[in-house]
Chains A and B, each alone.
Chain A
Amino acid sequence: DGGITQSPKYLFRKEGQNVTLSCEQNLNHDAMYWYRQDPGQGLRLIYYSQIVNDFQKGDIAEGYSVSREKKESFPLTVTSAQKNPTAFYLCASRVTGRSTDTQYFGPGTRLTVL
């Protein structure tokens, strides 16, 4: 099946620890994105990558880091510098064509800081 997978589904972290969220896609999409969702709010962009070995900060990048060593993978690290990391994290990839330009989302990872 083609799609976007995120793991783990649920993640618990102690304060002061870094944690890495996985995002993999087999859709052959060039661009990938990380969003954060808080209760009652829309999604906010953390980081994006338009091509392998390149990535850019989004609107709320502080306390996060990413890498893009492979086209299929775009892991997100939530560092101890992130002041309020408890949230639902969503990964997406973008498909563009002559008459289309959309993003498809993975199932999400819920991170809880204890």
Chain B
Amino acid sequence: GQQLNQSPQSMFIQEGEDVSMNCTSSSIFNTWLWYKQDPGEGPVLLIALYKAGELTSNGRLTAQFGITRKDSFLNISASIPSDVGIYFCAGQLGAGGTSYGKLTFGQGTILTVHP
């Protein structure tokens, strides 16, 4: 089945630094989603991407849908302590057809921000 490779697995950074993480897939997706999860909580949607090449920002977060449809990256600028958590990418074939909305998740990137 489809697999997503998310990297890095973990990051330890100083407050104020920028962060970059990415996901690559063996298959194409029509939708890329980025979530953040705090310990013991459900994932919260950060950014959704629907078109190849699309670049979308949400505050200090920027994400891009790769041209090949097989990758996506997330950047966080000027990190702050509350950015701590686990970040997941997820790919979806999209509505219609046989996709039924199934999300394929990366393994997650654990972000630690030192004040």
A106 adjacent to B88 (CB under 8 Å) = no
Task: Say if the beta carbon of A48 comes within 8 Å of chain B.
Answer: yes
Report yes or no: A105 in contact with B42, Cβ–Cβ below 8 A. Answer: yes
Residues of A within 8 A of B48 (CB): 100-102
Least distance between A57 CB and chain B CB atoms (Å): 11
Q: How far is the CA of A103 from the CA of B100 in the complex (A)?
A: 12
Contact A108 B40 (CB under 8 A): yes
Q: How many residues of chain A get a CB closer than 8 Å to chain B's CBs?
A: 30
Q: Chain B 86-115, CB within 8 Å of chain A: the 1/0 string?
A: 001010101100001111011110000000
CA gap between A89 and B16 in the complex, in Å: 34
Chain A, residue nearest B103 (CB):
A103
CB atoms of A42 and B88 under 8 A apart: yes
Indicate if the CB atoms of A99 and B50 lie closer than 8 Å. yes
What total count of A-B pairs have CB within 8 Å? Answer: 70
Secondary structure at the A interface, as helix, strand, loop or mixed, is strand
Contact pick for B88, options A6, A43, A96, A104, CB 8 Å: A43
Give the residues from 34 to 88 in chain B that come closer than 8 angstroms, CB to CB, to chain A: 35, 40-45, 48, 50, 88
Interface membership of B33, Cβ < 8 A: yes
Contacts of B42 in A (CB 8 A): 4, 6, 90, 105-108
Chain A interface residues toward B at CB < 8 A: 4, 6, 31, 33, 40-45, 48, 50, 56, 58-59, 88, 90, 94, 96, 99-108, 110
